[in-house]
A and B are shown apart, each in its own frame.
Chain A
């Protein structure tokens, strides 16, 4: 199987979907002639032209709203946020119009858009550019959100998102863009709402998503080698819809849970997951559910401090040992 980068996998998904459906178009800042701020769309403008790759001015509210309006008439825009943090200036469009038009019309319309872009910290760009708003998106019924942790999922989830008839946010990660994974040549889809067990284990379940799932996988190997703890790692892939069954089945097997995410802890995704576990697997738990989240402050600029602020292997191992205590 070819080894390709996360960036290349997303580009393949966009390229294939543009060719599959004439209504799919990509719009955003620098996506066309500049080839994308993070080069995710590199070469697509040269290949598909102005109609399908559309450079926008720096006007997130206007082009997000325009994409939503166009989607009501059957266009399927994929809107790139150069940083998902920039979606904050388009919140009214995305969260009011994107999520509620269908509901407030009593189901007379739907909004098949994709909003994609990097949503991560860890790159020394300061707090304003380091948001991880998957929890905010998930808090709006009508919206869906996925957080691919690897190239295979990034391609498969992107294709599923584009074909979905509801608005889907795809949270990417600049620290993963250059990482490589095996991705098959044959077409495939990763369905929304299906988690992935990255590693099987019997002593502790780690539930995670996005890049943190990869960090958790690494920590699980270390925990096995240095502490003899067998850790199962569940990668959510999709936040809303959420694969509760895979989470619960794992916890029922291991009886202990550690939840790892880059979100800030208060009302983070893991707050909801923790609630679900205690509600539906209370009697299976041998210890309190533990969490490793970003240390609860705006993201630090200085690299050394931000690297400590975000979940890392050391903090995940520390959390795992507490969960095992």
Chain B
């Protein structure tokens, strides 16, 4: 399906007024009953996992920062559900949802946040740095917008190798004013790289609203400056996300063209859990209104209840299963050991880690 340039979907303007249109769009209509239930299971799973991780953070089990994705789940779940064999994905530090969506286990993710050896990065990365290259997931990056050129690089490699795939590079609305992102938009368009930039616009770059941080509030319009196609949609309805992202991904794969997709979404929690002021830079009513009308878990549930895919009993059962899985992951993480001290100097250099013959020359590490 050809993409219409510079199109803001009707629903983006009317904020969810046409939910059913997206559920019946071809890309969504083609989903089997099980696939639809899997979408629900994923969205609920991310929610329950993060609620459990919040509890662990408050119990002092998780160090550093914890950037929760609660409220944005349908974006990662929707887009990852469209990924094909040679598609790749990279994101910033609000990375738990994408990690679970590509199929990383709650155990390895929770254990990573607990800093345990059983974590996906052996406890070397933490909450902001989840990776699963075997699932085409390249992190999990801590510096705002720093992952965007890497995403273009993944796409560059696909094109270089003649593979038909695309790279999905996620960023937040706070990242759009970084130079590295704008430089990358230019490169991607100049070189026709099959990368789809997904701005998850949750309205706030930490505690600064969009209005206070970006001169042009329609973030997708920036693509115009780089002769790049763009589109805007809502992020609370997984079917809308799928319908709009699918067009961008097909275009990237088929035509080797980049795309800028702005997805309007919302986070319920602070920038990180340490952001205790998050109800001061926005009103409680604003948060409650979103939860009441656009909660991604509720929206997908209502879709699937109304079309007969889900029963209330099954929905409840899945919810309980995910709560149990999250609880079990916390137990797994708690009971796991931390890495031995010898791990401090592994994974620094590939050549050192793989020097089984002891042939490397020179000193690599410099402690007395």
- Measured CB to CB, the residues of A under 8 A from B are 23, 25, 51, 56-57, 59, 61-75, 92-93, 96-97, 101-110, 112, 141-142, 144, 164-166, 191-194, 238, 240-244, 272, 276, 279
Of the candidate stretches B34-42, B250-258, B349-357, the one touching chain A is: B349-357
How far is B124's CA from A73's CA once the two chains are assembled, in angstroms? Answer: 22
**Structural contact, B351 and A165, CB atoms closer than 8 A:** yes
Interface string of B353-365 (1 = CB under 8 A from A): 1100000111111
**Structural contact, B361 and A243, CB atoms closer than 8 A:** yes
**Structural contact, A65 and B348, CB atoms closer than 8 A:** no
Residue from A69, A71, A141, A194 within 8 A of B152 (CB atoms): A69
Residue from A103, A109, A192 within 8 A of B361 (CB atoms): A192
**Structural contact, A241 and B364, CB atoms closer than 8 A:** yes
- Cβ-based interface call for B16 (8 A): no
**Structural contact, A93 and B146, CB atoms closer than 8 A:** yes
Residue from A65, A104, A110, A194 within 8 A of B124 (CB atoms): A104
Interface string of B135-159 (1 = CB under 8 A from A): 0001111110011111111111110
Interface string of B314-340 (1 = CB under 8 A from A): 000000000000000000000000000
Contact A73 B161, CB 8 Å, known A106-B121, A193-B360, A194-B362: yes
* New A-B pairs, 19, CB < 8 Å, besides A97-B150, A106-B347: A25-B160, A64-B149, A65-B149, A67-B153, A69-B156, A69-B157, A70-B157, A73-B88, A102-B349, A103-B348, A104-B140, A105-B133, A106-B120, A106-B125, A108-B134, A109-B133, A191-B361, A192-B361, A244-B362
How far is B350's CA from A72's CA once the two chains are assembled, in angstroms? Answer: 12
Q: For the complex formed, measure the closest distance between the CB of B71 and the CB atoms of chain A, giving whole angstroms.
A: 26
Residue of A with least CB distance to B149? A65
**Structural contact, B121 and A105, CB atoms closer than 8 A:** yes
Q: For the complex formed, measure the closest distance between the CB of A164 and the CB atoms of chain B, giving whole angstroms.
A: 6
Q: For the complex formed, measure the closest distance between the CB of B60 and the CB atoms of chain A, giving whole angstroms.
A: 23
Residue of B with least CB distance to A59? B183
Q: For the complex formed, measure the closest distance between the CB of B322 and the CB atoms of chain A, giving whole angstroms.
A: 26
Contact A272 B366, CB 8 Å, known A57-B187, A104-B121, A109-B131: yes
Q: For the complex formed, measure the closest distance between the CB of B151 and the CB atoms of chain A, giving whole angstroms.
A: 6
**Structural contact, B146 and A70, CB atoms closer than 8 A:** no
Residue from B139, B149, B184 within 8 A of A101 (CB atoms): B139
**Structural contact, A166 and B349, CB atoms closer than 8 A:** yes
Contact A73 B152, CB 8 Å, known A61-B180, A106-B122: no
Contact A61 B183, CB 8 Å, known A101-B139, A103-B347, A109-B138: yes
How far is B183's CA from A57's CA once the two chains are assembled, in angstroms? Answer: 9
Q: Which residues of B contact A192 (CB under 8 A)?
A: 361-362
Q: For the complex formed, measure the closest distance between the CB of B185 and the CB atoms of chain A, giving whole angstroms.
A: 9
Q: Which residues of B contact A191 (CB under 8 A)?
A: 361
Q: For the complex formed, measure the closest distance between the CB of A141 and the CB atoms of chain B, giving whole angstroms.
A: 5
Residue of B with least CB distance to A103? B347
In the complex, the 3 A-B pairs of residues with the closest C-beta atoms, listed nearest first: A69-B153, A193-B362, A65-B149
Residue of A with least CB distance to B156? A70
Q: Which residues of B contact A59 (CB under 8 A)?
A: 183, 186-187
**Structural contact, B149 and A62, CB atoms closer than 8 A:** yes
- Cβ-based interface call for B63 (8 A): no
- Cβ-based interface call for B103 (8 A): no
Residue from B119, B149, B350 within 8 A of A61 (CB atoms): B149
How far is B121's CA from A92's CA once the two chains are assembled, in angstroms? Answer: 21
Q: Which residues of A contact B346 (CB under 8 A)?
A: 107
**Structural contact, B129 and A105, CB atoms closer than 8 A:** yes
Q: For the complex formed, measure the closest distance between the CB of B73 and the CB atoms of chain A, giving whole angstroms.
A: 24
Q: Which residues of A contact B134 (CB under 8 A)?
A: 108
Max chain A CB contacts within 10 Å: which of B180, B184, B362?
B362
How far is B148's CA from A92's CA once the two chains are assembled, in angstroms? Answer: 12
How far is B346's CA from A102's CA once the two chains are assembled, in angstroms? Answer: 10
Q: Which residues of B contact A276 (CB under 8 A)?
A: 366
- Cβ-based interface call for B313 (8 A): no
Residue of A with least CB distance to B150? A69
- Cβ-based interface call for B368 (8 A): yes
Residue of B with least CB distance to A27? B156
**Structural contact, A72 and B160, CB atoms closer than 8 A:** no
Residue from B138, B146, B347, B368 within 8 A of A96 (CB atoms): B146
**Structural contact, A193 and B183, CB atoms closer than 8 A:** no
Q: Which residues of B contact A69 (CB under 8 A)?
A: 90, 138, 149-157, 167
**Structural contact, A92 and B353, CB atoms closer than 8 A:** no
Max chain B CB contacts within 10 Å: which of A92, A107, A112, A240?
A107
Q: For the complex formed, measure the closest distance between the CB of B233 and the CB atoms of chain A, giving whole angstroms.
A: 26
- Cβ-based interface call for B132 (8 A): yes
Residue of B with least CB distance to A96? B143
Q: For the complex formed, measure the closest distance between the CB of A234 and the CB atoms of chain B, giving whole angstroms.
A: 13
Q: Which residues of A contact B361 (CB under 8 A)?
A: 191-194, 241, 243
Contact A66 B184, CB 8 Å, known A103-B347, A108-B133: yes
- Cβ-based interface call for B25 (8 A): no
How far is B161's CA from A23's CA once the two chains are assembled, in angstroms? Answer: 8
How far is B362's CA from A193's CA once the two chains are assembled, in angstroms? Answer: 4
- Cβ-based interface call for B64 (8 A): no
Residue from A23, A57, A65, A109 within 8 A of B153 (CB atoms): A65
Q: Which residues of B contact A74 (CB under 8 A)?
A: 157, 161
How far is B150's CA from A51's CA once the two chains are assembled, in angstroms? Answer: 19
Residue of B with least CB distance to A272? B366
How far is B10's CA from A156's CA once the two chains are assembled, in angstroms? Answer: 61
Q: Which residues of A contact B179 (CB under 8 A)?
A: 61
How far is B363's CA from A139's CA once the two chains are assembled, in angstroms? Answer: 14
Q: Which residues of A contact B152 (CB under 8 A)?
A: 62, 65-66, 69
How far is B154's CA from A103's CA once the two chains are assembled, in angstroms? Answer: 19
Task: Mark out the residues of chain B between 222 and 254 whose CB falls within 8 Å of any chain A CB in the assembled complex.
Answer: none
- Contact sample, A vs B, 6 pairs, CB 8 Å cutoff: A57-B186, A62-B152, A64-B149, A66-B156, A106-B121, A243-B361
- Cβ-based interface call for B190 (8 A): yes
**Structural contact, B133 and A66, CB atoms closer than 8 A:** no
